[in-house]
Amino acid sequence: MTELSFEPTMVREDLTARQIYERVQANPARAKFGFGRKLAIVNVDFQQAYTRPDLFPVSAYVTDPRQIEHTNRISALARAAGMPVIWTQVAYMDSGGDAGVWGTRTNTPDSLQNIKYGSDRHRLDPRCAVDCTADLVFTKRMPSAFFETQLQSYLVWHQVDTVVVTGGSTSGCVRATAVESLSRGYRTIVPEECVADKHESYHFANLTDLALKYADVVKVAEIDAWFAAQA
């Protein structure tokens, strides 16, 4: 039997995650998936535990100060065009037992499993322009907005072929939702200004990975322009 041996080929370079992201976006390695016929805006976990550093400085984060403004705008455009808008939250029962193994690593007031139903940490940020007469709002328990939720059947019923993912965190629930969206056959788009994370490194490293493999990572202006072209 022939024995094969190779030197490591993994690239090592002294660039920040932001610099690598900017290089990838300036020199895309693949064609975009693009927009289909009908999209849905999936706004992931815009709840106070993650959006209000004034209330929850340990768990909350801000990347683009206009994130919620941008998300509200494209959500309004989708609504006006008769396209679905979805908001997710995360919360757990008092015992935290429905968090599973995900909730076993720490047990502090800021731990994941200690986000309880109806708590201030569970509530959507009041800056979010949620239309309770039109939008789907539900609580999830795991990173992906698809996992054991009604999202897939809702998108099928509304004949959606494109999913726009916003929210947080880029490296966590946004990434998980985007990967599962692609895995389920949806064109998947992530508007850069509409996602956030705790650390620049995680944020841009995951935007890079999404852009290379799983989604079109675009400026939010591209979403605005697509809606304007539908009018």
CATH code (residue 166): 3.40.50.850
| DSSP codes joined into one string, 125-142 | PTTS---TTT-EEEEESS
CA atoms within 13 A on the CB side of 33: 26
Q: Which two tokens stand for residue 55?
A: 């209330």
- Residue 23 clears pLDDT 80, i.e. is over it: yes
Torsion of CA 46, 49, 50, 55, to 10 degrees: 110
Residue 17 lies in a domain: no
Q: How many domains in the chain?
A: 1
Give every CB contact of residue 231 below 8 A, 6+ residues apart in sequence: none
**H helices then E strands: how many in the chain?**
7, 7
Q: What is the mean pLDDT of residues 22-31?
A: 93
Q: Which two tokens stand for residue 90?
A: 């995360």
Which residue among the candidates 128, 132, 173, 194 is catalytic per the annotation? 173
pLDDT classification of 82: cutoffs 50, 70, 90: very high
Q: Which two tokens stand for residue 73?
A: 């705008």
Q: What is the mean pLDDT of the chain?
A: 96
Amino acid at 180: E
Active site residue 173: yes
Q: What is the pLDDT of residues 171-220, one digit of tens each?
A: 999 999 999 999 999 999 999 999 999 999 999 999 999 999 999 999 99
Residue-level pLDDT at 201: 97
User: What's the domain range around 122?
Assistant: 32-230
Residue 22 lies in a domain: no
β-strands 162-168, 195-196 pairing: parallel
Q: Which residue has the tokens 């490296």?
A: 171
Residue 13 lies in a domain: no
